[in-house]
Amino acid sequence: MDFKKNNVVLEKFLTNITEAVRVIITNKVRTLLTALGIIFGVAAVITMLAIGKGAEKEILDQLKLVGVNNIVITPIIDEIKDGEENEEENTSSETVSFSKGLDMIDSESILKYIPSVKAISPEIILDTYTILKGRQNPVKLVGIAPSFFKISNIEIESGENFSEKHGNNALPVCIIGKKVAQKLFTGEDPLGKQVKVKDVWLKVIGIIEEKTISQQAQENLAIRDLNRDIYIPLKTFLVRFKDRKIMTLNDSGRRGYYSQNQTGPKVRIPRGNYHQIDKLTIQVSDSKELKATADIVSRMLKRKHNNQLDFEIKIPINELKQQQKTKQIFNIVLSLIAAISLLIGGIGIMNIMLASVLERTKEIGIMRAIGATQQDIILQFLSESILISLGGGILGVLLGVSAAIFLEKATDIQTILSIDSILLAFFVSTLIGLIFGIAPAKTASKKSPIEAMRHE
């Protein structure tokens, strides 16, 4: 008995689906127009979820680059352009407080006197060039401490990190970025080879792993493409290249440095980059102590710099959290728009199904007269509604996937497609068809067979 009953149920189901397909094919244009709301709604949902997941991954990637518990200090460089010196004459006899700038003493003091500081990484950056096999290539030379790679979450892919021997003796050694290795040593193993940076020959002792850094991340976090850098020990940089703490007679790059004319006022020498280091990254033991540590560091540096605020302190994780919050709000707004689109699509399906019920009143009467039950009529119209919605869902998925791929290729927006979002789209589209198809189906099932057959 159960077998026969199951066969009857299956036969009814197949009959309803076949009839629904027939009606949809008969009214192709109307069905397509009806499904447009579902198509665009599902496409919007998939695209928004892909953008949201991409934004989330981008934030996590940026966190890895800047570090979760890091504080970044950068100097404020007050430059004067050529021809502006005369405008900067100091007509007052008062002497402006002198700042020594951000230097290695600051770095050592922060690490020594602030207990919450776990590690510190000073950097000195110089835009210069390399010469290899007669070719000159622009490059960033970065003087670092050995702690730089750990704090920056950078792995050395091959070779070794700088040792105390390298740093203390200012040895001419370097670690290069992946892109530098590919450009200067195409098809060769760079380890142990020499590269000439400006006038100094450096021995390559290591190569860092390649880091993928988007243009947006570089702009938002003020970070550079680490793959294009050449790294050397700090002392090597200061001894063999440039130390801004050493001032020459021709050096006009110190703030607060004045020349005294015997017959006139003190005249300010043009300002420039008088800071010994260009960046100072502080790693804090506990993320809860980030703000407090930043405040202490700020007060310490201000005191050491004679109350001159010639530095800027940033907590990257706070900035990233703010970005994440903004993106979440943006995604919520767009998701609401997608939901409204789906709602409009559902209303469109309900409207067209009600119109279909009115058009097929006589057909409903005949079906009831030959033995169709109210349940059969409900199932028939629900099948049509669900098929329209499901078809719209399939087209919406294709459109959404295409839109996400196009966005990633045409813009800098990272998108990540997932099976979950596609399954969700199918579920939502089917549910829309079911919910908005119930009212027309019930309306059709309640029609009196005799009155329906008389309908013209």
Range of the domain at 55: 2-61+322-454
Q: Are residues 117 and 43 in the same domain?
A: no
Q: What is the pLDDT of residue 203?
A: 92
Q: What is the pLDDT of residue 7?
A: 62
Residue 311: how many other CB atoms lie within 10 Å: 20
Residue 143 binned pLDDT confidence (cut-offs 50, 70, 90): very high
Identify whether 420 is part of a domain: yes
Q: Are residues 300 and 328 in the same domain?
A: no
Total domains in the chain come to 2
Sequence-ordered list of residues with C-beta below 8 angstroms from that of 135, at least 6 positions apart, any chain: none
Q: What is the pLDDT of residue 141?
A: 92
Q: Are residues 217 and 334 in the same domain?
A: no
pTM beyond 0.75: the answer is no
Q: Do residues 35 and 24 touch, judged by C-beta distance below 8 A? A: no
One-letter amino acid of 363: E
Q: Are residues 175 and 50 in the same domain?
A: no
- Can you tell me the mean pLDDT for 429-454? 71
Q: What is the pLDDT of residue 247?
A: 60
Residue 273: how many other CB atoms lie within 10 Å: 15
Q: Are residues 337 and 188 in the same domain?
A: no
Does residue 66 register a pLDDT over 70? no
The closest alpha carbon to 152, from 58, 59, 69, belongs to: 69
**What's the mean per-residue pLDDT of the chain?**
77
Identify whether 387 is part of a domain: yes
Domain boundary among 309, 330, 358: 309
Q: What is the pLDDT of residue 142?
A: 92
Does residue 368 register a pLDDT over 80? no
Identify whether 75 is part of a domain: no
Q: Are residues 153 and 287 in the same domain?
A: yes
429: buried, middle or exposed (CB in 10 Å: 19+, 13-18, 0-12)?
buried
Residue 295 binned pLDDT confidence (cut-offs 50, 70, 90): very high
Q: What is the pLDDT of residue 254?
A: 47
Identify whether 82 is part of a domain: no
Domain boundary among 286, 309, 332: 309
For residues 199 and 334, what is the distance between their CA atoms, to the nearest angstrom? 55
Sequence-ordered list of residues with C-beta below 8 angstroms from that of 10, at least 6 positions apart, any chain: none
Question: What sign does the dihedral 257-261-267-271 (CA atoms) show?
Answer: negative
Helix H or strand E segment including 194: strand 194-197
What is the DSSP pairing of strand 200-208 with strand 279-284? unpaired
Q: Are residues 149 and 293 in the same domain?
A: yes
Residue 147 binned pLDDT confidence (cut-offs 50, 70, 90): confident
Does residue 257 register a pLDDT over 60? no
Q: Are residues 297 and 330 in the same domain?
A: no
Q: Are residues 286 and 349 in the same domain?
A: no
- Estimate to the nearest angstrom the gap between the alpha carbon of 241 and the chain centroid: 36
The C-alpha angle 247, 248, 252, rounded to 5 degrees, equals 80
Whole-Å CA distances, 324 to 177, 188, 334: 29, 42, 15
What is the DSSP pairing of strand 200-208 with strand 173-176? parallel
Helix H or strand E segment including 355: helix 316-359
Q: Are residues 54 and 125 in the same domain?
A: no
Sequence-ordered list of residues with C-beta below 8 angstroms from that of 148, at least 6 positions apart, any chain: 121, 123, 154, 231, 281
Whole-Å CA distances, 143 to 103, 107, 290, 359: 13, 14, 26, 80
Residue-wise pLDDT tens digits, 70-104: 888 988 876 544 444 444 444 444 445 677 888 88
Q: What is the pLDDT of residue 5?
A: 54
Pick 390 or 368 by higher pLDDT.
390
Report the range out of 39-48, 52-61, 251-260 with the highest average pLDDT. 39-48
Identify whether 77 is part of a domain: no
Report the range out of 6-10, 159-163, 364-368 with the highest average pLDDT. 159-163
Whole-Å CA distances, 147 to 6, 199, 203, 354: 71, 27, 20, 71
- Can you tell me the mean pLDDT for 332-357? 78
Identify whether 256 is part of a domain: no
Residue 53 tokens, joined: 């997941």
Does residue 270 register a pLDDT over 70? no
The C-alpha angle 299, 305, 311, rounded to 5 degrees, equals 70
For residues 121 and 162, what is the distance between their CA atoms, to the nearest angstrom? 13
- The percent of residues in the chain predicted with pLDDT above 90, rounded, is 10
The closest alpha carbon to 120, from 169, 172, 69, 176, belongs to: 69
Give the chain's length.
Answer: 456
Identify whether 181 is part of a domain: yes
Q: Are residues 328 and 302 in the same domain?
A: no
Q: Are residues 305 and 328 in the same domain?
A: no
Identify whether 370 is part of a domain: yes
- Can you tell me the mean pLDDT for 359-379? 72
Domain boundary among 309, 332, 357: 309
